[in-house]
Amino acid sequence: MRSSLLTRLVQAQNHLTQHPDPEIGPIQLLVFDAWRPVSVQAFMVEHAVKEECVRRGLQPTLPHWATALEDVQRDVGRFWAPPSDDRSTPPPHSTGGAIDLTLADQRGAPLNMGGAIDAIGPESLPDHHASAARANPNSPEALWHRRRSNLHAAMQHAGLVRHPNEWWHYSYGDQLWAWTVKASMAVYGRVDGH
């Protein structure tokens, strides 16, 4: 990851340290994924499509499933950036400016956030549990919403922006960041592997 992203992660962790969870005490960031080359992005998109086809009981190689496959590809595309080789439109993770992460307790065990990282579906939307949390402040959904909100507050405090469809994805300096903060251009382009 970019050093500026690492600096901001330290700021976010400091924010979390200053604001412990009222039920479990100190919490910390748990990094799931950061930089990935375009070739890995291509593999992950293909893998996500295959996994979603399996989950939906589809056999994408059969001609009569063509429309269903297009639906899967569209749904996966809401969460996975296309593995573009165009240097002007790099996938966020290929810039070194994007990171997927969650919260963990002080022993490093991930906290339940009400949806898995990389899940394809509405449970991945950052505010998916908000209405259930308002309806019942003592529900599991309220806990998950509070945790997602705490993660967002810490990351926002450090100058990172959240992907609109993914509670776990934050970035600094990539195209999503530039679009969100209305910068004239991204700070970072694609980083090629060695």
46, 51, 141, 166: the catalytic one is: 166
Q: How far apart are CA 159 and CA 177, in angstroms?
A: 9
Classify the C-alpha dihedral 58-59-65-68 as positive or negative.
Answer: positive
Q: How far apart are CA 155 and CA 5, in angstroms?
A: 11
Classify the C-alpha dihedral 85-91-94-95 as positive or negative.
Answer: positive
Bridge partners (DSSP) listed for residue 103: 29
Are the CB atoms for 31 and 101 separated by under 8 Å?
yes
123 flagged as catalytic: no
Tell me phi and psi for residue 169, to 5 degrees. -100, 125
Q: What angle do CA 100, 17, 106 make, to 5 degrees?
A: 70
Neighbours of 32 (CB within 10 A): 14
Which residues does the annotation mark as catalytic? 166
